């Protein structure tokens, strides 16, 4: 090796070490030593050396952070140790309950917790082999995520090489996020370049990390903080979680300086309050704090529930509230003619998004909260998603016209508005005469759970109805490519796609067809019951409702006496369909207009009739689903359960046999725990059905 090359090698090694040291000071210690210009100077010098002596270029060189070639799509990484989710607490009493559960499991005195802020970013896993960063992945469903190594390589807060003493295999779990100030600056650049701005730092971080082109990620100001470990080979673990964090910091990982060790519930509450009050002054968004039992030995004893550790909890901050002005209270007309008042709001940024509309449910609700147009109101995002008007912060001018009055005629079709005694909702009496109801009926017909016609959304339905191309669902099947292609923003290609999906919807199961008709009170469940009972559309149309009502009554009486004698009850006729729903069916099916539509639809769609015969492996069991399952869609799970003869219900009660949980928190789980209902996760479910199938 010649002298020049040897010198270059030394210089390159020096520059690399210096650059990583500056990254460390900047991102991990928040104590920069070099100026940006000095840093850039060193980086350019290193690039020059590496281009003159390509063999000196190493994978962990800071020059490799600029971003590789764009990918077609991300690969999948199976996490060697699953990335779990956390139990949540939303109130002091829930946190106290968590603390009590830990004490009750045999822990005398105050429990020591490691406390950290809960970053509002994206969880990722970083894998280091012999100290070198080799792979990074998103959390995904916890079991496997997307391979975003190329993107994470560009994040300067993530060391490409750990300091000496790193275990041979070392997986670090942490959060990728964006600082608020850097997010603002990014948005400013986006604005200047005429590109789309991001709503909040979280979305910006998520969007940047999921870029297929790492060169884009490279110019986004992403940060990283570590908070835990995955797979570790080649080293003993420290005794406590706080020691793990200290260890990560020593190895050069950014770890939040806000971390602390607290004693017992009181200490935890103090930490929570202090973070809550300092929240606005932090450089980044947090949505709560996380407490973990500090002793790793105790953690191991406590183990896991479903997919969350029992030793940790996220105590979330109360939903953020904001004040804004109601500019107007409008009326929306639903599928069944329900008139729903909606508050139009002066756009306000709350809970991470800009809110402009909020439902006010009904007239009584408006009276109860005493809302007038022009009032300044408090808005929050209830249950994390749906905007809710909490109440009046300051009354507006309140001119007589500002008070909400439910109109006496439908704002769309001018038909009379009727509010039945004891009902909360006011309804337009126009039926299919009302354009709004016709449009909603079409949308419902095409919706995913009904006939599932992809591409037939609001925009298209509006135009089809306004241009008199379709009045009822039956007309959809008569549409021609030529007609659709004339609609705004639709060419021949999209028109053909729409026709294809309309054709694909022919022959759907009878239950979907019945549901799609949109008979008041007949939802998915009732539609299934009807399909199973009548088997065909013809027999449903011929049904003699008063006879069925009679038969049902006598069946119920017979069952009651069987029960008294301790016998097993016979299956109930049309279970869940009582007098009201029968009346609704009778009325709907008697209308000549509806019958015409149904006959025309039956002609073009030929719904698949139901052949009797049911599986019974899980007969009589009731399941409730909650959260997202790692490997199957909710609907899939539901179908599977039903095909095995069990029922899927939407809320947990003492009659529930199993709660199949994907996530680890939420009302359904709380109820299930309180009632002692068995909670299983996806793998538990697979085991269960395997066992039952195998055992019978």
Q: Which of 303, 313, 301, 298 is nearest to 111 (CA)?
A: 298
CB of 572 to DNA, least distance (A): 6
Neighbour-count burial of 577, counting CB atoms closer than 10 A to its CB (0-12 exposed, 13-18 middle, 19+ buried): buried
Tell me which of 60, 320, 575, 609 binds DNA, using CB under 7 A: 575
Give the binding range for DNA (CB under 7 A) out of 353-361, 504-512, 538-546, 602-610: 353-361
Which CB atom, from 398 or from 449, has the smaller least distance to DNA?
449
Residue with tokens 């923003």: 489
Q: Residue 54 CB: number of other CB atoms within 10 A?
A: 7
How far apart (Å, rounded) are the C-alpha atoms in residues 43 and 49? 10
Find the part of the chain contacting DNA (CB under 7 A) among 226-234, 356-364, 475-483, 589-597.
Answer: 356-364
Interface characters, 57-96, with DNA (x: CB under 7 A): ----------------------------------------
- C-alpha dist (Å) from residue 484 to 405, 460, 469, 494, 605: 40, 9, 9, 9, 20
Closest approach, Cβ 394 to DNA, in A, equals: 21
Chain position carrying tokens 């990014």: 186
Q: Per CB under 7 A, does 370 bind DNA? A: no
Comparison of 185 and 675: residue with beta carbon closer to DNA? 675
371 sits near DNA (criterion: CB under 7 A): no
Task: Determine the size of the site formed for DNA (CB under 7 A).
Answer: 64
* Among positions 99, 217, 511, 626, the unique one binding DNA when judged by CB under 7 A: 626
The single residue among 249, 358, 417, 646 that binds DNA, judged by CB under 7 A, is 358
Q: Is the torsion defined by CA of 566, 567, 568, 569 positive or negative?
A: negative
Tell me: does residue 353 bind DNA (CB under 7 A): yes
| Residue 432 beta carbon to DNA: minimum distance, rounded to whole angstroms | 14
**C-beta of 157 vs 178, nearer to DNA:** 178
Comparison of 465 and 582: residue with beta carbon closer to DNA: 582
Quote the distance between the C-alpha of residue 25 and its chain's center.
36
Residue 334 touching DNA (CB under 7 A): yes
Distance between CA atoms of 232 and 170, rounded to whole angstroms?
Answer: 5
Among 521, 630, 645, 684, binds DNA (CB under 7 A): 521
Q: Using CB under 7 A, which of the segments 89-97, 145-153, 360-368, 400-408 binds DNA?
A: 360-368
Is residue 176 within 8 A of residue 224, CB to CB? The reply is yes
Tell me the sheet residues that pair with 89. Answer: 315
CA 182 to chain centre: 26
Q: What does the alpha-carbon distance between residue 375 and residue 338 come to, in Å, rounded to a whole number?
A: 25
Instruction: Label residues 493-520 b or e (16+ Cβ within 10 Å = b).
Output: eebebbbebbeebeebebbbbbbbbbbb
Neighbours of 6 (CB within 10 A): 10
Identified binder of DNA from the candidate list 58, 327, 340, 429, rule CB under 7 A: 340
Contact 652, 668 (CB under 8 A): yes
- Told to check if 422 binds DNA by CB under 7 A, we report yes
Q: From CA 181, how far away is CA 451, in angstroms rounded?
A: 47
Rounded CA gap, 469 and 456, in Å? 13
Q: For DNA, which residue of 253, 286, 355, 446 counts as binding (CB under 7 A)?
A: 355
Q: Are 473 and 442 in contact, with CB atoms under 8 Å apart?
A: yes
In the complex with DNA, which residue's Cβ is closer, 17 or 570? Answer: 570
Please identify which residue in 45, 213, 250, 525 interacts with DNA, judged by CB under 7 A. Answer: 525
Cα–Cα distance between 650 and 653 in angstroms, integer?
Answer: 10
Cα 541 to Cα 538: distance, rounded to the nearest angstrom: 5
- Name residue 289's beta-bridge partners: 117, 315
Q: State in angstroms the smallest separation of the CB of 428 from DNA.
A: 10
Q: Which residues of 283-308 are buried (b: 16+ CB within 10 A; e: fewer)?
A: ebbbbbbbbbbbbbebbeebeebbbb
Binding mask 544-563 for DNA (x = CB under 7 A): ------------x--xx--x
Part of the chain binding DNA (CB under 7 A), chosen from 27-35, 164-172, 402-410, 578-586: 578-586
Q: 32 or 334: whose CB is closer to DNA?
A: 334
From candidates 105, 332, 494, 604, binder to DNA by CB under 7 A: 332
190 binds DNA (CB under 7 A): no
Q: Among 82-90, 410-418, 464-472, 652-660, which window interacts with DNA (CB under 7 A)? A: 652-660
Which one of residues 582, 598, 618, 646 is an interface residue with DNA (CB under 7 A)? 582
134: exposed, middle or buried (Cβ count in 10 Å: 0-12, 13-18, 19+)? middle
Binding positions for DNA, 665-684, rule CB under 7 A? 666-668
Q: Does 199 help bind DNA (rule: CB under 7 A)?
A: yes
Smallest separation (angstroms) from DNA to the CB of 636:
18
Map tokens 């088997």 to a residue. 535
Name which position in 103, 110, 327, 336 contacts DNA (CB under 7 A).
336
- Asked if 338 touches DNA (CB under 7 A), the answer is yes
Contacting DNA (CB under 7 A), which of 376, 594, 649, 683? Answer: 649
* Residue 478 engages DNA in binding (rule: CB under 7 A): no
Instruction: Give 362-398 as a DSSP string.
Output: SHHHHHHHT-BTT-EEEEEEETTTEEEEEEEEE----
Q: Please list the residues that pair with 349 across neighbouring strands.
A: 354
- The residues that are catalytic are 118
Map residues 425-454 to x or -, x wherever contact with DNA holds by CB under 7 A: x-----------------------------
CA–CA separation, 377 and 395 (whole Å): 8
Q: Is 628 in the site for DNA (CB under 7 A)?
A: no
CA angle 574, 618, 560 (to 5 degrees): 40
The reply on whether position 357 binds DNA by CB under 7 A is yes
Answer yes or no whether residue 383 interacts with DNA by CB under 7 A. Answer: yes
Residue 342 interacts with DNA (CB under 7 A): yes or no: yes
Is the Cβ of residue 288 or residue 387 nearer to DNA in the bound state? 387
Residue 228 as a binder of DNA (CB under 7 A): the answer is: no
Give least dist CB 336 to DNA, A: 4
Six-digit token pair at 541? Answer: 């149309």
* 524 is a contact residue toward DNA (CB under 7 A): yes
CB 289 within 8 A of CB 258: no
Please name every residue paired with 288 in a beta bridge, in sequence order, or none if there are none: 118, 316
> Following CA atoms 120, 121, 124, 126 in sequence, which dihedral angle do they give, to the nearest 10 degrees?
-100
How near is the Cβ of 368 to DNA at its closest, in Å? 9
Of 125 and 626, nearer to DNA (C-beta) is 626
CB distance 539 to 620 below 8 Å: no
C-alpha distance across the termini of the chain, in Å = 74
Q: Is the dihedral of CA 598, 603, 606, 612 positive or negative?
A: positive
Binder of DNA out of 235, 478, 503, 651 (CB under 7 A): 651
Check residue 187 for interaction with DNA (CB under 7 A): no
653, 687, 690, 691: which one contacts DNA (CB under 7 A)? 653
Q: Considering beta carbons, is residue 471 or 575 the nearer one to DNA?
A: 575
Q: What does the binding site for DNA look like in residue numbers (CB under 7 A)? A: 199, 203, 332, 334-336, 338, 340, 342, 353-359, 361, 364-365, 382-383, 385-387, 422-425, 520-527, 556, 559-560, 563, 572, 574-582, 622, 626, 647, 649-656, 666-668
């Amino acid at each position: 090796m010649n002298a020049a090359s040897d010198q270059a090698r030394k210089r390159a090694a020096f520059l690399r070490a210096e650059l990583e040291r500056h990254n460390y000071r900047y991102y991990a210690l928040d104590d920069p030593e070099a100026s940006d210009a000095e840093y850039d100077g060193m980086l350019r010098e290193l690039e020059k050396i590496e281009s003159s002596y390509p063999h000196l270029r190493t994978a962990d060189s800071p020059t490799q952070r600029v971003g590789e070639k764009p990918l077609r799509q991300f690969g999948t990484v199976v996490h060697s140790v699953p990335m779990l989710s956390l139990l949540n607490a939303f109130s002091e009493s829930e946190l106290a309950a968590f603390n009590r559960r830990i004490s009750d499991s045999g822990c005398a005195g105050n429990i020591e917790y490691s406390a950290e802020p809960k970053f509002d970013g994206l969880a990722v896993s970083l894998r280091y082999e012999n100290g070198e960063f080799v792979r990074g992945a998103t959390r995904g469903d916890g079991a496997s995520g997307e391979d975003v190594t190329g993107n994470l390589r560009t994040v300067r807060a993530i060391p490409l090489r750990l300091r000496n003493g790193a275990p041979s295999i070392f997986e670090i779990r942490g959060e990728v996020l964006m600082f608020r100030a850097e997010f603002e600056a990014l948005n400013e650049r986006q604005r200047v370049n005429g590109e789309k701005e991001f709503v909040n730092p979280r979305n910006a971080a998520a969007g940047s990390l999921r870029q297929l082109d790492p060169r884009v990620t490279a110019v986004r100001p992403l940060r990283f903080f570590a908070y835990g470990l995955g797979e570790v080979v080649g080293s003993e673990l420290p005794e406590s979680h706080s020691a793990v964090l200290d260890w990560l910091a020593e190895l050069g990982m950014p770890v939040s300086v806000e971390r602390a060790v607290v004693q017992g519930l009181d200490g935890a509450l103090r930490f929570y309050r202090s973070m809550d009050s300092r929240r606005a002054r932090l450089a980044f968004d947090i949505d709560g704090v996380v407490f973990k039992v500090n002793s790793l030995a105790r953690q191991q004893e406590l183990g896991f529930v479903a997919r969350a550790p029992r030793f940790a909890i996220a105590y979330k901050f109360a939903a953020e509230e904001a004040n804004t002005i109601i500019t107007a209270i409008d009326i929306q007309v639903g599928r069944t003619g329900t008139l729903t008042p909606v508050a139009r709001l002066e756009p306000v940024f709350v809970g991470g998004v800009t809110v402009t509309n909020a439902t006010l449910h009904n007239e009584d609700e408006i009276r109860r909260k005493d809302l007038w147009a022009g009032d300044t109101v408090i808005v929050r995002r209830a249950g994390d998603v749906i905007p809710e008007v909490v109440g009046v912060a300051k009354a507006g001018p309140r001119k007589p016209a500002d008070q909400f009055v439910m109109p006496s005629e439908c704002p769309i079709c001018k038909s009379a508005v009727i509010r039945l005694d004891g009902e909360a909702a006011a309804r337009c009496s126009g039926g299919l005469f009302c354009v709004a109801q016709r449009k909603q009926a079409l949308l419902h017909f095409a919706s995913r759970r009904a006939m599932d016609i992809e591409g037939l959304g609001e925009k298209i339905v509006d135009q089809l109805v306004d241009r008199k191309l379709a009045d009822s669902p039956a007309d959809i099947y008569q549409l021609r490519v030529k007609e659709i292609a004339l609609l705004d923003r639709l060419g021949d290609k999209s028109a053909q796609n729409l026709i294809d999906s309309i054709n694909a919807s022919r022959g759907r199961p009878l239950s979907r067809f019945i549901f799609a008709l949109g008979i008041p009170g007949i939802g998915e469940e009732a539609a299934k019951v009807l399909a199973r009972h009548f088997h065909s559309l013809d027999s449903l149309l011929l049904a003699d409702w008063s006879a069925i009502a009679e038969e049902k009554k006598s069946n119920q009486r017979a069952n009651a006496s069987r029960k008294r004698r301790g016998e097993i009850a016979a299956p109930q006729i049309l279970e869940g369909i009582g007098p009201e729903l029968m009346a609704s069916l009778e009325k709907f099916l008697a209308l000549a207009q509806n019958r015409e539509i149904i006959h025309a639809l039956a002609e073009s769609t030929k719904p698949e009739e139901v052949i009797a015969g049911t599986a019974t492996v899980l007969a009589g069991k009731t399941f409730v689903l909650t959260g997202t399952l790692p490997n199957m869609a909710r609907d899939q799970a539901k179908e599977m359960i039903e095909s095995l003869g069990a029922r899927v219900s939407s809320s947990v009660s003492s009659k529930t046999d199993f709660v199949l949980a994907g996530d680890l928190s939420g009302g359904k789980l709380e109820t299930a725990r309180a009632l002692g209902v068995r909670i299983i996760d996806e793998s538990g479910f697979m085991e269960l059905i395997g066992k039952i199938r195998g055992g019978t």
